[in-house]
Each structure stands twice: as C-alpha cells, then as structure tokens.
Amino acid sequence: MKFKKFLYKFNNRKKFLLIIVLLILALLSTFKFDTFVSASNSSDNLSDLSAGVMGVLDGVNLDEMQNLVDELGNNSIFNVSVRERIESILKGEYSTNYSSMLSAFLGVVFGNIKSVLPFIFTLVAIGLLSNVVGNLKSNTSGVENTTNFIFLSVAILVVLISFKGILGTTNKTLNSILTQMQIVFPILITLLGTIGSVSSISIYNPLVAILSTLVSVVFDKFLYPLFIIIFVLTILGNLTDTIKFDKLNGFLMSTFKWSIGIIFTLFTGFLSIQGITAGKFDSVSIKATKFAMKSYIPIIGSYVSDGMDFFVLGATLVKNSIGLVGVLILIISILSPIIMIIVYKLALQLSSGILQITGNSKICKFLGDCNKILILPIVLIIGVSFMYIITISLIMCTANIL
C-alpha cells in the first residue's frame, strides 16, 4: 500500500516536471520566433517606408525652392542643394553646423558694422564742424539760424542716403517672403491632399490667400508707405521750429502699432483654432477609410490599409521636411536685413549720444527721432515672418495628429 502511494506521487511529480519543461521550451521557442519575425518585419517596414518616402519626394518639383536658395548667394548655413537638405532631414542625418552658423552670423554683423562706420564718422564730423563754426560766427541770430539749418540739412541728406538703402532692403525682403509663400505653400497643400486631409485643405487654401493678401496689400501697400510718411514728417518736424508734427507722428505710430497687433491677433488665433479643428476631422475620416478597407475589401483589404499607412507616413515626412527647409530659407533671407537695420539703428543712437556731449541739440534730436522710427521696418519683417512660420508649423502639425 505504501509502495503504491509512493509510486503515485512519483508519477505525479514526473508529470508536473514534464509539464514545466514543456512550458519553458514553448516560451523559449515562442520568444525566439517572435524576435526573428519582429526583426524581419521591422526591416521590411523600414525598406517599404524608405521606398515610399523617396517615391513621394521624386514627385515633388523643388526647382523653384532651389532658385530661392540660389538667389541668396553663397551661404555657409545652406551649403547644399534643397533636395540634399531634405534627404538628410528624412534620413535623420541632418545636424546643425554651429561653427558655420556662427561664422556666417559674425560675417554679416561685422560686414554691416564695417559699412556703417563711415556713416557714423560723417554724422559726428558734421556735428563737430557745426559747433566749431558756431563758436566762430557773429552773435546775430540770423547767422546762427542759417548755420544750424545748413548743417542740419547736410546731416539729413546723409541720413536720407542711408535710409534709401534701408527702405529698398525692407521692400525687397517683404517681396522675397511673399515669393517664398507662393512657392512653399502650394507644395505643402498638395502633399496634404495626397494624404487625404480634405478638411485641412479647405481651410488652409483661403488662409494662405489671406496671408499673401496681408503681405502684399496691408504690409507692403499700407504699413510700409506709412513708415515712409512717418520718416518724412520726422524730417520736416526737425527742419522748422514753426510747424510741429509730433502729434501727427504719434498718431501715425499708434496706427502702425495697432494695425500690427490686430492683424497678428486675428490671424494667428483664427488660424490656430481652424487648423487644429481641421486636423481632428481629417483624423476621423482617414481612420474610417482605413477601417472600411480592412472590413469590406476581401482578402487584400488589410494589405491595402497597411500600404495606405506607409504612403500617408511617407507623404507626412516629406511634407514636414519641406516645411522645415522652407523655414530655414526664410531665416537665412531675413537675417541680413534685420542685422543691417539694427546696426544702423545703433549707429544713429551712438552718433546722437556723441553729439549730445558736444552740445549740438538740433542734429542730436533729429538722429534720436530717426533712431526711434527704425524699429518699424524691423517689426514689418519680423511680423510677416512670424505669420509665415506659424502657418507652416500648423500645416506641418496637421497631418501629424492623423
């Protein structure tokens, strides 16, 4: 009896150990098999995705974007073609060359400083010469007023010559940004269409048209001439003591600032809300399409749905890479004009400070007034660029939430 119990327990233990061994072997076998399949599938997925991305990129015409880069001239920040830059971003090989960026930035800064030094020396020389002549002249008020008027007129002429270059650069930069919009936005919206973002296209198409209109009409045809009027009134107000334009100039400055603020607030607020909403609608519609493919297309439905995933992902990657390159082109194109205006603004401030020490109040006041209004072209360029970047960023993010 005891032997039977022992034999029964021994058999149960053997069965239990056998079951444990079989389970361990099954788990090990499953783990190895899954790892092999996962690695194989991962490799296949990467190759399929890479092929899909390059296929989408081959269908995009980048000639006009390349022309934009060529117009910028030799620039160490953007020292490759647009196609090569996009491919490097897609492959994850893009890295910022900070030494090249720093050297390019310093080259622009010191180049503008070098060009503005004669401007500073000329203004200071005019102010000092005015003081010397003032000390030598007779005490009659008529001669004093005539002398001050002559030297002030010469200083105004020197500033006018420099402002002519600033006005031309500002206008050229605004037109360049408008050209970039007209080239980059159609490419991004077309890629949105290939992804299936119908709701987003219906919103971004009119918004892009509105942005282009704002730049070409409001900024270029209204705010830019308003800056010129403010500058002219500044000159007239300093030429004569009988007619004052301070209040009118203040009104025009307020109009400029309020116009910029209202445009920014309305455009960015409406664009953000509508862009996010459109992306949500597109997300639902594309997910419904993929579900319908898997459910109602026999046999090959899942394959078609997976192929759609690869295509959508590839088009999204290409779209975002092109958007990023567009932002890089914008930054490079506005960097030099903004630095140039800032350097001239500092030059006017420095000249005004030096002449204040010498006691030449007329020229000092004129240079101080010019220094104040030079913030306006900087606001124009940065404002348009900011709206452009906001629009590109939202278009880049739209398909990312699908």
User: Confidence band (pLDDT; 50, 70, 90) for 344?
Assistant: very high
Domain range summary for the chain, segments of one domain joined by +: 1-44, 59-401
What is residue 337's predicted lDDT score, i.e. its pLDDT?
92
Q: Is the pLDDT of residue 10 over 60?
A: no
What's this model's pTM, rounded to 2 decimal places?
A: 0.77
More confident residue, 402 or 222: 222
pLDDT in tens, 89-111: 877 766 666 676 777 778 888 88
pLDDT of residue 178 exceeding 90, the answer is no
Q: Quick one: average pLDDT of 63-67?
A: 86
How many percent of the chain have pLDDT more than 70? 68
Tell me the range of 61-70, 328-337, 391-400 where mean pLDDT is highest: 328-337
Instruction: Say whether pLDDT at 43 is over 60.
Output: no
Contact 344, 162 (CB under 8 A): yes
CB 344 within 8 A of CB 108: no
150-165 mean pLDDT: 88
Contact between 53 and 318 under an 8 Å Cβ cutoff? The reply is yes
